[in-house]
Structure 1
C-alpha cells in the first residue's frame, strides 16, 4: 500500500464538521396540550432546545462519516504495489548507433554475437519480465529521433518492432532522442524511460531533464579488438600515384595487421605493421599504377568492420584532360582552360608542310587517353583510321566547323532547344553568317537552329557523347560574346560527365549537393563495393522535388562505395562515385565514456540507475524493484457513490433523525 498525495488529509476536516452538525442539532420535547386554544402558548413557552445533546447511534450519521472518510482517503491518491506489471507507460530508447554493429570475439574465431542482436533480445526479455501490463513506446537513433511504435499495448507487435531495428552508421541523434523520451513522459505520473546501450554514448545528456524515473541498461560487451582506417588519400605524381593511409589501434593491446591497396579492384600492394594501444601508424605506397578508384583495406577480422575500408579517387576524374586539335584558336583555347580542365593542344600542320609520322606511318595517339577530344576546323585524314579512329570511337568528341558547302543565314536569331549545353545562354546579339550544309548523322539532334537550319547538333554514338558546331568560330563574333565562356563550360561539363566524377568521402546519412543534369529523368544510388555490396544493399531511388530530381541528396547509411547514377531521356547513364563512411566517433573504444552516468541526472522520481542488462536494475524511488502501482482512487469513488445511494434510501424511510 502507498499514498500518492498526503495533501488529501486536509479534507479530513469534513469529519468533525459532520459531527458538529449532529451535536448542535436542535431537539424539541413532546408536550401534551389539553386544548387547541393553548397551542400558540405551548409553542412559545413549552418549546425547549437542547443543542449539546448526546450523540445517538444513528445509521445516517455513520453512513455520512464513512462517505467523508472514503472521500478523504481517495483524495490522498492511495495505490497498491503489484508484482511484474510494470509502469503504465514504458519508453524504450534503443541505441542503434554504428558501434552496436560490433561483434564479440570476431578476431579469435570463437562464436560471436552482434551487440545489436543481443540488445534486441534483452529488450524483449525486459518487457516480459518487468513491463507485462505496460504500454510500450520504442525510440531509435538515426540522423534524427525515430519513433518505431507509440503506446503499443500488443507486446507481440512491440517484439516485431524491436526485431526491425538496424544499426545507423552516420552521426546518431543521441541528445535529440533523449529529449523526445523526456517530452513523452513529462506530464505522466506512472511512466518510465529505459535506455539500452553498449555504453558508447555521445552528446551532453546531463542537460536533458526528466520527470519520470530513468533506467540505463548496458548491454554486456567488452571493448574488443578494433583497428580503424582514419585517413586515406592518393596523389598523382610523375612516377605514378602515391597513396597514404593512417591506421589507429582502438584496442587495449598492441595489434599487428596488413593493409592492402587496390586499384579498380586489383590488388596493387600490401604492407604490414604493428600498432601500440591507442597509437596510429602511417603507411605510404609509392609508384602505384593509374586507376580511377583506389581502395585501402585492413586484412583480417576485428570486432567492428565498418571502419576497415576507405576509398580514394584519382585526380584525373576531377580534372578532365582535353585534347585540342586546332590550327590556332586563342579564344577557344582560353575558354577550355577556364573550365579548369587540363588542355593539351595539338597544332594541325599547314597545308603542304611535312607531317611527323611515327613508324606506322601516322601521327601517334596520346599515351594517356584524354577525357575529351576537341577538333577545331576540318578533321585531319589520319583520324579516320587506325588507332585514332579507335580513340575517337571510345572518347567524347566536340567538333567546331569544318569543310563543305555553306548556307547563308545572315545573322538570323538562333532558336534553342532544351539541352544542358543551352542551359544558361540565349545567343542574343551573336552574328552567325552561314552554317555548314551537310546530312545529319544518325546520332544527331539539332539543339540550336538558325532560320530552320541546324547550327549545333548533339547526341550519343557508341555510348559516347557527341557535340558539333556547324559553323566556323573564326567567321562569327561568338568568341567575343560574354556567353562564349559559358557555352564552353557547359559543353565540356556535358561531354565529360558521361565518364563519371567522384564526389569524395562523406559521413553516412549526411546530405550533399550533387550536380543533376537538366535532362535527367531518373537517378538512384547503386552499391559498388565494400560493406554495402557485402550486405547486398538494394538500389536506392534518388529524392525528388517539385522540379524533378533534387540536387540535395542523402548519402546512403551503410558504409561502402556507391555510384549516383543518372539516366536521361535518351537512356544515357552518368554516374558520380561517392564513399559513405561510418561516423569516426563510433570507433573510439579506447576512450573512457562517462556520459552514461549523466543520463537522467535530473530525473524527477529518484536517481538514475546504470546497470548491466543481465542484472536487475531498479529505481530507488520504487522499493518494489520490478513492482508497479495500481491506483485505488476509482475503487474508493465507487464505494462513496454506493454509500450515498444507501444514505438516500435511509433518508426516504424516515430514519434520518
Structure 2
C-alpha cells in the first residue's frame, strides 16, 4: 500500500489528545443525596477520569480513537499499485457527429458517451496519461496529454454533438501520430460506428478499443434534396427528395414542403422498414427563395427530419466560343437550353459581358477573367506544359464529380495530349497513365475546366458522352449555377460569398437567431465562413445586401443511426466492442465510509448505555 498524501499522518498527534481528555478529572458539583446505592454502577467511570490513573476498558474511547484513525488514514489517500514499470498513453476519440444526438440512450448518445468515457478517466493510474480528441468536421484536441483527472473531466463535459457527418479518419491519423513510439499506448473510440471514411485506414500495430454507443435504429431521414428547372413549365421548379426508413417497423408520416416558411403542400407517406421513397414536387417560383422539406415524425434523430435549399431563378448563360471551326463543339453547345451563344475566331481583348468563355485550341492574347472551358491550350498563370504524350490511355475518371455525371469514357481513344502536372488550384478528373487529361478547379474566384487534348483528334465527339460532358461543364461553369452550389452546403463545409459592397463589418445571422461578426481580409470582397456545424439557414448581412445560405446534413450513413458492434476498417481489419478497462483505485472513500459507520456505532452505544 502506498499513500498520495503521507503528510496527513502528522494529524496522528491528535490521538493522544483524545486520551488526555479521558484522563483529566472532570469537575463535578457536590450534591447531598439520601443514598449512594443507585450510583455505584457509575463508580468505575468516575475513578477512570482521575488524573494519571491507569486507563480502563472504555468502548466510547475505543470508538472515538478508531474513527479518528480512519479519518487520518483516508486523508493520507492510500492506494494499491500494480507491477507497472511505466505509464501508458490513452488517446480518447469522441465522435461528435449528428447521429450522436440520437435519443435511444437518454438523454442522448453523446451524454452516454461522455459518461462512459468519464468512467475510463476514473480508472487512470498515477503513471497513465490521457488525451481527448473531438472528431468532427475538423479534429480538435480538447485536452493535451495529462494525468490530472479534473482537467480531463472538464474537457469531456465541454463536448457537444454537431449536425455534421461522421469524420473519424483524420482523428485516427492524428491518434496514430500521437501514440507513435509509445509502447503502452491505447486508442479508445466512443462512437455509434456510423463512419464511412475508414476504408483506407490501416490499424496495424495499433491497440484500438471501440466503445459502441446506442441500442437501436428508429429513424426516418431525408437523404437527398435538389431543385431543378421544370422542363415543362419555366415558371415552376421541380423539387426532388429522397426519404429512407431506417427503423425496424413501418413508418407513417407527413412530408411537408414549404416556400419561404409557408407550407405549400403536405403529403402522407408510408414507408416499410428499410425502404426508400422518392418524392417529386412541382412548385411555382417567381423570385429567389428557400424551399424547405420537413418530416412530421418523432424518431430518435431529429437532425435529418428537415432540409432546405436556396433556389435561385435561372438566367440564360451567355457563352463566348473562341474557335476556328469545330461543329461538334458548336452543336453540343447549341443543344443546351437557356443559353446565349456567340462565336469568334480570336480573342484579342478582355472578353465582353459574358458568363463564360470556351477556348478551342486558341490561346488568347488577353486571358479571360470569367469562368473558362479551355481545350488544348495553355496559359503560364494556370497550366505549365512542355511535352506531348502520344496515344494516352484513359485509366480513371471521377464519376462523382459534377462534370462527369452520366459520362462514360471507357470507349474513348485520344491521339495525343499535353503532359502537365496537376496544379494546386485544380484536381484531375480524368487520368491517363502518364498525365492528367482533364483538370477542374477554382483560382481566385474563377472556375476553370482544362482538357489537354484536341477533341477533333479523338473519338470522343462521336460518343454520346461528349455532349453530356459539355452540358455538365456549362452548368458547372455558369455563375448562376456555381452560385447556387455555393449557397447550398453540407454542415461543416465553408460558405463562400463575394460581397457587392465593402462594408468593413459584415454580420452572419445564425440559424438560432444569434449574430456573429465575419472576419474579412482588407481589400478583399470574398468572405469565407466555416462555422456551419448547425443545419439551417444562415444570412450574411452586408450593408444593405443579404446573401442567404442553406446548410444541411443530408447523409445516408448518418441517418442510418443503428449502432455498429464492429468498426469496419476497410480491407485491413475489424475492431469489435471493448469492455471497460479494470484498474486499482484509491480506497480513501471506503475509509471515510468506515469512519462514518464507527461514528454511528458510537452514537448508538452511548444512547444505549444512557437509556
- Normalised by the length of structure 2, the TM-score is 0.50
Between Structure 1 and Structure 2, whose CA radius of gyration is higher? 1
TM-score (norm 1): 0.46
